[in-house]
Amino acid sequence: MKFLKRLTISIFLLSSLVVGNANASDCKARLGDFDWSSANIHTAITTFILEKGYGCEVSVTKGSTTPIMAAHYDGQLDVITEVWYDNIIGNYKPHEEAGTIIHMGTNTPDSQQAFYVDKATADKYNLKSVEDMKDPKIAALFKDPEDPSKGRMTSCISGWTCYTVNLVKQKEYGLDKYYTNFDPGSGGALDAAIAGAFAKKKPIFTYYWAPTGLMGKVDLVRLKEPKFDQACWDAMSAVVEDIKANGPDAYKPSCASEYRDMALTKSVLATWAKAHPKENEFIGKYTIPTATVNKMLAFYEDESGGDMEATAIEFLKTETMWKDWVPADVAKKVSAAL
């Protein structure tokens, strides 16, 4: 009798699994995410809506720019919710022109990247441009403990394209004679280096960007660089991609200019877009004002306890703009899941 009961239960469970699989959503989405917070917020919000509103099975792969975008180009990742297009245009454009990936428009309307110095140091030594940094006495203010003969410019993470952009910029500006291009190791470590310098009231020369929560907490002065020029940027990008592929010895003199303040964008695989037209329409409509992204980043850092899903839920509970991205029935399902 016990055997029959176990058999009956086993058959019931098996049939439940079969029915469950039969009712499983045909929607599957492989999202690519990065190792910085603004991208994580967009991925978390998109994941929640795809799962709860569209019934999609979502997987997320997180990493640095180069491997994540390579997987996207190779057809292994379907959706990228935050793309720094100008930084990667050299690699991105051939796939876009081939029609294998689709540029899906604006994610965040404006962003900036630049070289910065803390305001106290900038004011004391009248530092306004990258040219002002080319002085051994100024470089000594930012002494690199690992190479005391030079100052330290805290840069991007080596897996991010901006690390190599900054390397080339230093060479073109002549800053490499005075500063190392220091890799802090992670986005969190970069934030900690900046916040730590302010807490200790020590000078810092750094690369940074917005939107970020940290930008609202520290006072950084943006250093002037040569004005953005597309032809110059394209020439520099070619050198950047060569170095990424073949190492620092592949460097060849070109030129450099400031980063262009740009809109961040989104990208999808063309095959995924064709197979998931409703979900793809949502990705196309997804856009969040920079001020709102900054507010969510501050919530993540100060109130969520470092919980990105909680931050996504906070956005969906307190903002209504997302309801314009999806049909009413999808919005109802998402609201019910909050």
pLDDT higher than 60, residue 21? no
216 pLDDT more than 90? no
End-of-domain residue from the set 213, 228, 250? 250
For residues 189 and 265, what is the distance between their CA atoms, to the nearest angstrom? 25
The pLDDT of residue 110 is 83
Q: Does residue 14 sit within a domain? A: no
Question: Given this model, what pLDDT does residue 13 score?
Answer: 35
Q: Is 144 helix (H, G, I), strand (E, B) or coil?
A: strand
CB count within 10 Å of CB 26 equals 9
At which residue do the structure tokens 């994540």 appear?
A: 68
- Report the chain's mean pLDDT, rounded to a whole number: 91
Average pLDDT rounded to a whole number, residues 23-37: 85
Element (H, E) at 300: helix 290-302
* Cβ atoms 42, 71 nearer than 8 A: no
User: How far apart, in whole angstroms, are the C-alpha atoms of residue 186 and residue 182?
Assistant: 11
Quickly state the pLDDT bin for 25 (edges 50, 70, 90): low
Domain that holds residue 66: 27-109+263-337
Instruction: Count structural domains, the chain.
Output: 2
Give the position of tokens 């999202």: 31
Distance between CA atoms of residues 53 and 153, nearest Å? 45
Q: Strand ranges (DSSP E) for 87-204? A: 101-118, 143-144, 147-154, 179-182
Cβ-contact 288, 108 below 8 angstroms: yes
Task: Tell which of 250, 282, 297 closes a domain.
Answer: 250
Does the reported pTM lie above 0.85?
Answer: no
Q: Is residue 17 part of a domain?
A: no
Beta bridge partners of 206: 116, 154
Residues 221/215, Cβ–Cβ less than 8 Å? no
Rounded CA-CA distance 272/77 in Å is 9
Nearest-angstrom CA–CA distance, 13 and 27: 24
Length of the chain: 338
- Of the pLDDT bands very low, low, confident and very high (cuts 50, 70, 90), residue 331 is very high
Residue 289 lies in a domain: yes
- 263-291: average pLDDT: 96
Residue 223 lies in a domain: yes
Distance CA 254, CA 252 (A): 6
Taking residues 26-44, report their average pLDDT. 95
Among the candidates 250, 272, 287, a domain finishes at: 250
Note the pLDDT of residue 301.
Answer: 87
Q: Tokens in use for 70?
A: 């390579």
Is 90 exceeded by the pLDDT of residue 316?
A: yes
pLDDT one-digit tens code per residue, 136-169: 999 999 999 999 999 999 999 998 999 999 999 9
For residue 211, what pLDDT is reported? 83
Q: What is the DSSP code (8-state) at residue 81?
A: E
User: Which range has the worst mean pLDDT, 29-33, 100-104, 109-113?
Assistant: 109-113
Per-residue pLDDT reduced to its tens digit, 10-20: 333 333 333 33
* Least confident residue range of 12-26, 105-119, 242-256, 262-276: 12-26
d(CA 310, CA 110): 25
Helix (H, G, I), strand (E, B) or coil at 1: coil
Does one domain contain both 116 and 218?
A: yes
- Indicate which CATH number applies to the domain containing 105: 3.40.190.10
Question: Are 138 and 221 in a shared domain?
Answer: yes
Pairing status of strand 147-154 against strand 179-182:
parallel
Give 49-93 pLDDT, tens digit per residue: 999 999 999 999 999 999 999 999 999 999 999 999 988 988 999
134/232 same-domain check:
yes
Distance (Å, rounded) from C-alpha 302 to C-alpha 126?
A: 33
Residue 31 has pLDDT above 70, yes or no: yes
- How much is the pLDDT for 299? 92
In terms of domains, do 316 and 270 share one?
yes
Q: What are phi and psi of 34, to 5 degrees?
A: -115, 175
